């Protein structure tokens, strides 16, 4: 996915027209007014449709302190959600607002279960109870995806509730026992059972789940838990690959894809552009990577078609 923190430049739109990205992540929370968001998404999709395939356009619209569309729901932080009905209403409101400006992916809800008040997620998480989080996350997903035009994302698999810091800021090793980590999968399972379209795989390191020490987004073992144990069949998306644990990995884009990640997110556009070039070069000499990319593209295109069929972005007409 390409990354924008301001309206697209001519060169960015040219990259879209050449088919060099499958989606765009809109970052920042002070420039996406309703009119600007509408104009930007229209420009992006017009460029994409030169090649006949719409983009996925996503934002982190969690509510509270992480709310890219400052004028749109969720108006409440997850920690302030009172009930399943409230969570569902927040999701429904978010979907309506996002769809109205041409955004079809919400990188929410956070379904991690913090172990204490000291956890960095703070109000971004529903509660310290995995069963409550499962109930509220499921309700939010159902509300968000009810129209079919906006996809939700459960994050950050397999959970950052036991993390000692933010993976965006440092290399974070979560050395908790496997049984404790698996307890934190309960809300993810609920989101999967609710039909969530995407799951974001984090860049934390979980030695008790994967002794290799690979960050989760680079771990076939951890992504295998999501696919085989939780039964997830949708699209996997990485947390930011400009995070320290990811930037330390050579040929990171190819390694993430081979591990089972599909949509690749970066915190800045220059990193995204470099990663694309690296991935193309790696794929040219690796048949197994080309086959894996075809599988990933198939899942992403299935998601795009599903969203388009319900009134989301399309290149028809």
In this structure, is residue 314 part of a structural domain?
A: no
pLDDT at 54 over 90: yes
Q: Do the beta carbons of residue 73 and residue 98 sit within 8 Å?
A: no
The average pLDDT across 174-197 equals 97
Q: Which two tokens stand for residue 167?
A: 């993976």
In this structure, is residue 317 part of a structural domain?
A: no
In this structure, is residue 68 part of a structural domain?
A: yes
Q: For the segment 133-155, what is each residue's pLDDT rounded down to a tens digit?
A: 999 999 999 999 999 999 999 99
CA distance 16 to 21: 6
For residue 102, CA distances in Å to 18, 99, 253, 285, 314 come to 21, 5, 28, 37, 10
pLDDT at 29 over 90: no
Tell me what pLDDT residue 316 has: 81
Q: Which two tokens stand for residue 182?
A: 């698996």
What's the pTM value of the predicted model, to 2 decimals? 0.97
Q: Do the beta carbons of residue 105 and residue 23 sit within 8 Å?
A: yes
In this structure, is residue 289 part of a structural domain?
A: yes
Q: Do the beta carbons of residue 156 and residue 201 sit within 8 Å?
A: yes
Please tell me the total count of domains within the chain: 1
In this structure, is residue 48 part of a structural domain?
A: yes
Q: Do the beta carbons of residue 300 and residue 262 sit within 8 Å?
A: yes
Tokens 């992540």 sit at which residue? 25
In this structure, is residue 139 part of a structural domain?
A: yes
pLDDT at 114 over 90: yes
Q: For the segment 257-312, what is each residue's pLDDT rounded down to a tens digit?
A: 999 999 999 999 999 999 999 999 999 999 999 999 999 999 999 999 999 999 99
Residue 205's SS3 state is strand
Instruction: Give, for 61, the enclosing helix (H) or strand (E).
Output: strand 61-63
The average pLDDT across 172-180 equals 97
pLDDT band at 317 (very low <50, low <70, confident <90, very high): low
Q: Which two tokens stand for residue 210?
A: 């994967």
In this structure, is residue 316 part of a structural domain?
A: no
For residue 14, CA distances in Å to 10, 40, 125, 146, 315 come to 6, 14, 38, 34, 17
The boundaries of the domain holding residue 101 are 2-309
Q: For the segment 81-99, what is each residue's pLDDT rounded down to a tens digit?
A: 999 999 999 999 999 999 9
Residue 299's SS3 state is helix
Q: Round the average pLDDT of the chain to a whole number and report it.
A: 96
The average pLDDT across 49-76 equals 96
pLDDT at 200 over 70: yes
In this structure, is residue 305 part of a structural domain?
A: yes
- CATH (domain of 290): 3.20.20.300
Q: For the segment 230-264, what is each residue's pLDDT rounded down to a tens digit?
A: 999 999 999 999 999 999 999 999 999 999 999 99
Residue 142's SS3 state is helix
| Residue 4, phi then psi, degrees to nearest 5 | -125, 135
| Cis amide bond preceding 20, omega within 30 | no
């Amino acid at each position: 996915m390409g990354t924008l923190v301001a309206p697209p430049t001519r060169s960015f739109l040219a990259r879209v027209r050449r088919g060099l990205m499958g989606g765009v992540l809109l970052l920042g929370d002070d420039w996406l007014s309703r009119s600007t968001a509408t104009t930007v998404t229209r420009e992006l999709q017009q460029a994409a449709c030169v090649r006949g395939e719409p983009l996925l356009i996503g934002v982190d619209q969690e509510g509270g302190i992480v709310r890219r569309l400052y004028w749109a729901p969720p108006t409440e932080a997850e920690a302030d959600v009172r009930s399943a009905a409230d969570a569902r209403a927040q999701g429904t409101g978010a979907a309506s607002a996002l769809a109205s400006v041409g955004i079809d992916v919400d990188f929410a809800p956070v379904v991690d279960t913090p172990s204490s008040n000291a956890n960095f997620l703070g109000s971004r998480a529903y509660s310290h109870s995995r069963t409550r989080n499962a109930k509220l996350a499921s309700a939010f997903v159902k509300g968000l995806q009810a129209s079919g035009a906006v996809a939700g994302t459960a994050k950050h698999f397999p959970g950052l509730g036991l993390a000692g810091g933010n993976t965006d800021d440092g290399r974070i090793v979560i050395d908790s026992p496997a049984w404790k980590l698996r307890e934190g999968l309960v809300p993810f399972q609920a989101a999967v059972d609710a039909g969530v379209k995407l799951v974001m795989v984090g860049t934390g390191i979980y030695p008790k789940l994967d002794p290799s020490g690979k960050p989760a987004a680079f771990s076939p073992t951890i992504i295998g838990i999501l696919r085989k144990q939780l039964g997830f069949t949708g699209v996997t998306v990485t947390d930011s690959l400009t995070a320290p644990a990811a930037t330390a990995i050579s040929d990171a884009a190819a390694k993430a894809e081979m591990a089972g990640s599909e949509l690749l997110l970066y915190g800045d556009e220059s990193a995204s552009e470099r990663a694309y070039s690296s991935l193309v070069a790696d794929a040219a000499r690796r048949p197994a990577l080309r086959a894996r990319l075809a599988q990933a593209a198939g899942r992403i295109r299935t998601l795009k078609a599903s969203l388009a069929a319900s009134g989301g972005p399309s290149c028809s007409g």
